[in-house]
Amino acid sequence: MMVGIVVVSHSPALAEAAVNLALAMTVGQSPRIEIAAGAVDDVIGTDALRIVDAIKKVSSSKGVLVIMDLGSAIMSSEMALEFIDDKALDVRLSKGPFVEGLLAAVVRAVGGGSLDEVEYEAANALLAKVSQLSATSEIIINEQSSDSKTSLKPEISSQAILVNAIGLHARPAAMIVGAIADCHAQVQIASDFSKAVPANSPTALLGLAAKCGQTLYIQAAGPDAKKAVDLIINLVNDGFGEHDESPLPSLKSYNPTTGVIGVSPGRVVGPVLQLLHPISEPDVQVVLELSDRKAAVQHLMLAVAQVADWFKLQSARLEGSAREIMQATSVITTDPALIKVACEAIINCGLTPERAIWEATEDIVAEFSVQGGLLSERITDMYDIRNRIIRLLTVQDAPDNLISNEPYILVASDLAPADTVMLNPRDCLAIVTEKGGPTSHSAILARSLGIPAITGVTEVTAIVDGTIVLVDGATGEFIISPNDEQKGSVSFIAPISLFHGPGRTSDGYQVQILANIGSVADVPDAITLGAEGVGLFRTEFCFLDREDEPSIAEQVKAYRAVFKCFSGRKVVIRTLDAGSDKPLPFLPIRNEANPALGIRGYRTSWHSPEILCNQLMAIAQAAAAEHAEVWVMAPMIATVEEAQEFVQKTRVAGLTIAGVMIETPAAAIMADHLFEQVDFVSIGTNDLAQYTLAADRMSSDLAVLNDPWQPSLMRMIELVCRGASDLKKPVGVCGEAASDPYLAIVLVGLGVTALSMSARSISAVGQLLASLSLEDCRRAAQAALNSDSAQAARLVVRESLSSVIK
Ligand code: PEP
Ligand code: MG
Q: For 492-528, how does the pLDDT look when each residue is reduced to its tens digit (9 = 90+)?
A: 333 445 678 899 999 999 999 999 998 898 888 788 8
| CA of 399 relative to ligand 1 center, distance in Å | 42
- Nearest ligand to the C-alpha atom of residue 636: 2
Q: What's the confidence (pLDDT) of residue 806?
A: 53
Look at residue 177 and tell me whether its pLDDT is greater than 50.
yes
Task: Give the nearest ligand 1 atom to 690 CA.
Answer: 2
Lowest mean pLDDT: which of 17-31, 416-430, 435-449, 748-762?
A: 435-449
Beta carbon of 758 within 6 Å of any ligand 1 atom: no
Read off the pLDDT band of 689 (50, 70, 90): very high
pLDDT by residue (tens digit) across 191-200?
A: 877 778 889 8
Can you tell me the distance from the alpha carbon of 735 to that of 756, in angstroms, rounded to the nearest whole number?
A: 7
Q: Which residues pair with 430 in a beta bridge?
A: 409
DSSP per-residue string spanning 767-783? HHHHTS-HHHHHHHHHH
Give the chain's mean pLDDT: 85
Q: Ligand 1 pocket, 735 CB below 6 A? A: yes
Is 503:511 a contact under the CB 8 Å cutoff?
yes
Neighbours of 100 (CB within 10 A): 19
Query: Which residues are part of the catalytic machinery?
Result: 441, 734
The CB of 684 under 6 Å from ligand 1? The reply is yes
**Is the distance from the beta carbon of residue 697 to the nearest atom of ligand 1 less than 6 Å?**
no
CB of 663 sitting under 6 A from ligand 1: yes
Indicate the pTM of the whole model.
Answer: 0.49
Q: Which ligand is nearest to the CA of 536?
A: 1
Count, residues in the chain = 806
- Sign of the Cα torsion 17, 18, 19, 24 reads positive
**Looking at residues 440-455, what average pLDDT do you find?**
78
Confidence of residue 209 (pLDDT cuts 50, 70, 90): confident
Q: What integer pLDDT is reported at residue 773 of this predicted model?
A: 95
489, 471 contact by CB (below 8 A): no
* Residue 225 CA, ligand 1 centroid: distance in Å: 41
Q: In this structure, what are the phi and psi dihedrals at residue 629, rounded to the nearest 5 degrees?
A: -90, 100
Q: Residue 148: pLDDT above 60?
A: no
Return the best residue to mutate from 687, 707, 740, 755 for the ligand 1 pocket (most ligand atoms within 8 A of CB): 687
CA of 192 to the centre of ligand 1 (A): 29
Most ligand 1 atoms within 8 A of CB, residue of 597, 686, 698 to mutate: 686
Q: Sign of dihedral through CA atoms 236, 241, 244, 246?
A: negative
Whose CA is closest to atom 8 on ligand 1?
686
Lowest mean pLDDT segment, chosen from 7-21, 89-103, 312-326: 312-326
Tell me the C-alpha distance between 413 and 440, whole Å. Answer: 14
Determine if ligand 1 sits within 6 Å of the CB of residue 713: no
Binding site membership of 685 for ligand 1 (Cβ less than 6 Å): yes
State residue 802's pLDDT score.
73
Separation of CA 636 and ligand 2 centre (Å): 7
Calculate how far, in angstroms, residue 684's C-alpha sits from the geometric centre of ligand 1.
5
Does the beta carbon of 540 sit less than 6 angstroms from any atom of ligand 1? no
Q: Which ligand 1 atom is nearest residue 736's CA?
A: 3
Does residue 755 contact residue 512 with C-beta atoms inside 8 Å? yes
First to last CA, the chain: 69
Cα(734) to centroid(ligand 2), Å: 9
User: What is the C-alpha separation between 482 and 798, in angstroms, rounded?
Assistant: 15
Separation of CA 55 and ligand 1 centre (Å):
41
The ligand minimizing its distance to the Cα of 250 is 1
| pLDDT level of residue 82 (50, 70, 90 thresholds) | confident
The reported pLDDT for the residue numbered 63 is 94
- Residues 345, 351, 357, 360, Cα dihedral to 10°: -40
pLDDT recorded at residue 132: 53
- Is 734 near ligand 1, meaning CB less than 6 Å away? yes
Q: Which atom of ligand 1 is nearest the CA belonging to 685?
A: 3
Is the pLDDT reported for residue 477 higher than 60? yes
Residue nearest to atom 3 of ligand 1 (CA): 684
Query: How many angstroms is it from 684 CA to the middle of ligand 2?
Result: 5
Cα–Cα dist 519/504, whole Å: 27
38 lines ligand 1 (CB under 6 A): no
If phi over 0 gives left and psi between -120 and 50 gives alpha, with beta otherwise, what is residue 694? left
Sheet containing 253-255: which strands, arranged edge to edge? 253-255, 260-264, 453-455, 428-433, 408-412, 267-274, 468-472, 477-480
For a mutational test of ligand 1's pocket, the pick from 246, 604, 636, 663, i.e. the residue with the most ligand atoms closer than 8 A to its C-beta, is 663
User: How does pLDDT run across 767-798, given as a tens digit for each residue?
Assistant: 889 989 999 999 999 999 999 999 899 889 98
**Listed range (474-488, 510-524, 653-667, 740-754) with the worst mean pLDDT:** 474-488
Helix (H) or strand (E) holding 260: strand 260-264
Cβ of 740 below 6 Å from ligand 1: no
Tell me how many degrees the CA angle 151-155-159 measures, rounded to the nearest 5: 90
Q: Whose CA is nearest to atom 1 of ligand 1?
A: 684
Query: Which residue's alpha carbon is at the smallest distance from atom 10 of ligand 1?
Result: 687
pLDDT band per the 50, 70, 90 thresholds, residue 215: confident
- Asked if residues 429 and 373 have their Cβ atoms less than 8 Å apart, the reply is no
**Res. 439 pLDDT band, cuts 50 70 90:** low
- For residue 787, give the H/E element and its range: none
Residue 575 Cα, ligand 1 centroid: separation in angstroms? 12
| 666 vs 137, higher pLDDT | 666
Report the alpha-carbon distance of residue 682 to residue 643 in Å, rounded: 13
Ligand 1 atom at shortest distance from the alpha carbon of 247: 8
Nearest CA, atom 6, ligand 1: 684
Ligand 1 contact, 687 CB (< 6 A): yes
